[in-house]
Amino acid sequence: MDAWINELKFNPVPPLLSSKNDAIRYFTKRDLLDEKVEPIETLWKSPSVVKLIKKQQEDGSWRYHRGKADVRSNENYNQLETYRILGQLVELYGSTNVHPAIREAANFLFRFQTSEGDFRGIYGSQYTPNYTAGIMEILIKAGYDEDPHIERGFRWLLSIRQNDGGWAIPMRTAQPKGSLLEALQKPEPISPDKSKPFSHCITGVVLRAFVAHPKHGKTLEAKAAGKLLASRLFQPDKYPDRKAASFWTKFTFPFWFTDLLSALDSLSLCGFTADNPQIMVALEWLKDKQKENGLWALSLLKTKSIEDLPVWISLAICRVFKRFYG
């Protein structure tokens, strides 16, 4: 039995292999058991993938329904929705830019990259390192790691860092108690106050883009950000958005905001080890939450959009344990 399984109370592999979800069984065999599997393209024929791609619009986007005109434009709502759907196709089915639908979606998202290098519009005219990095993470995983758009994005992310080496939403550092809606209406981006502390919520999302990239994930900047992130596990954020410490233990997959699992996933890819004191506490917390059936039943977000979300979360937890203890 693999060493990482011995770290857990129960063996999670049998229930993962017995899942009715083809993709979950596929990734369990490939990522946890190191078995030879069929080409990833076999998952792209799944009814779920076909259904998602049928809803793609001619410009490569997916339409966001029920948006609020006083928050953002239809085009920028579609940017948000395209990022979300592309994340599902990439993370749940291993889709890459070999598929024409992924290339069309990527071309749509690249339209929102400014000359500075950030992806803008989801926060109106304001800088958004979290959505910039989130979009970059998915595009990197889709096969765009060597694309010039991605390199420009990393240059911008490094330029917008706080002085402590982490990231925060610039408009929050300049007016931490101001109305976000008011900031979204401003015609020009608010410059950051880099002397203010980093936000672990934002830093965790940005770090995901770094560790997804074969070169940038090995940099000193990524390691420094990982150290900052690990130091804040289970702590409240420095800024009002998702400030409560309870947000660490509210999960979703594909990863969206920073939670305990997304942070551990990045830290495991960034060279951190299980003997790090903060990481050890987090891993023990996950061990204690495992159920007798071998899976995890945690507090979940976005439960309506992802089928079999508790099982996907369990698979993601197993990947983390295998990296730390395998």
DSSP, collapsed to helix, strand or coil, labels residue 296 as strand
Percent share of the chain, pLDDT over 90: 88
Nearest to 203 by CA among 295, 267, 289: 267
Per-residue pLDDT at 194 exceeds 80:
yes
Report CA torsion sign: 198, 202, 208, 213: negative
pLDDT digits (tens, 9 = 90+) for 85-114: 999 999 999 999 999 999 999 999 999 999
What is the rounded radius of gyration, in angstroms, for the C-alpha atoms of the chain? 19
**pLDDT score at 2:** 87
- Cβ–Cβ under 8 Å, residues 289 and 305: no
**pLDDT exceeds 90 at position 174:** no
pLDDT in tens, 5-47: 999 999 999 999 999 999 999 999 999 999 999 999 999 999 9
Cβ atoms of 110 and 104 within 8 Å: the answer is no
Condensed to tens digits (0 to 9), the pLDDT of residues 49-82 reads 999 999 999 999 999 987 777 667 888 899 999 9
pLDDT digits (tens, 9 = 90+) for 243-256: 999 999 999 999 99
255-314 tens-digit pLDDT = 999 999 999 999 999 999 999 999 999 999 999 999 999 999 999 997 777 999 999 999
Q: What would the two tokens of residue 149 be?
A: 């758009």
Average pLDDT, the chain: 95
Q: Within 10 A of 319 (CB to CB), how many other CB atoms are there?
A: 21
Give the predicted TM-score (pTM) of the model: 0.96
The per-residue pLDDT for 21 is: 97
In this prediction, residue 179 carries a pLDDT of: 65
